[in-house]
Amino acid sequence: NAGVTQTPKFRVLKTGQSMTLLCAQDMNHEYMYWYRQDPGMGLRLIHYSVGEGTTAKGEVPDGYNVSRLKKQNFLLGLESAAPSQTSVYFCASSYSQGVNEKLFFGSGTQLSVL
C-alpha cells in the first residue's frame, strides 16, 4: 500500500514549455486534489475531483488543466509554463464519509520555471 505517489519529484522547465504531473493513489479514494505551496501563502487549491471523470476549479486554476480518466489517477498539466508557476505541488486524496475528510498527501513535486 503505497498511499499517494507523485511523479516527478523535481523538474526544471523553461518558460513556455509544457509538462504533466502525475498523481496516483491506491486507497480507492473518491476525492483527489492538487495544491500548490508557496512561502507565506500556505496551501492553495488548484483543481480537484470528486470522482472519476469529474473535475472542478479551486482557488488558483489559471494556467493549469487536470484530468481524472481513472479513479486512481489525477493528472495536472501546465500547457505553457510561466515563472509564477515555480512552486511545490502537492497532490492529495481523501475518502469522504460524513463530515470528516482526512487528506492523504503525496510527497510533493518541486517545480522551477526559468
Partner 1 sequence: GENVEQHPSTLSVQEGDSAVIKCTYSDSASNYFPWYKQELGKRPQLIIDIRSNVGEKKDQRIAVTLNKTAKHFSLHITETQPEDSAVYFCAARHTGDTGRRALTFGSGTRLQVQP
Which residues sit at the interface with partner 1, rule CB under 8 A? 31, 33, 35, 40-45, 48, 50, 56, 58-59, 90, 96, 99-103, 105-108
The dihedral built from the CA positions of residue 21, 41, 80 and 48, taken in this order, carries a sign that is positive
Please give the grid coordinates belonging to residue 91. Answer: 497532490
Kindly report whether the peptide bond that precedes residue 61 is cis, defined as omega within 30 degrees of 0. Answer: no
Please give the grid coordinates belonging to residue 32. Answer: 483527489
Residues 46 and 32: beta-carbon distance below 8 Å: no
Q: How far is the CB of 16 from partner 1 (least distance, A)?
A: 30
Q: How far is the CB of 80 from partner 1 (least distance, A)?
A: 26
Q: How far is the CB of 54 from partner 1 (least distance, A)?
A: 11
Of 20 and 104, the one with the shorter C-beta distance to partner 1 is 104
Q: How far is the CB of 35 from partner 1 (least distance, A)?
A: 8
Three-state DSSP state, 24: strand
Of 64 and 90, the one with the shorter C-beta distance to partner 1 is 90
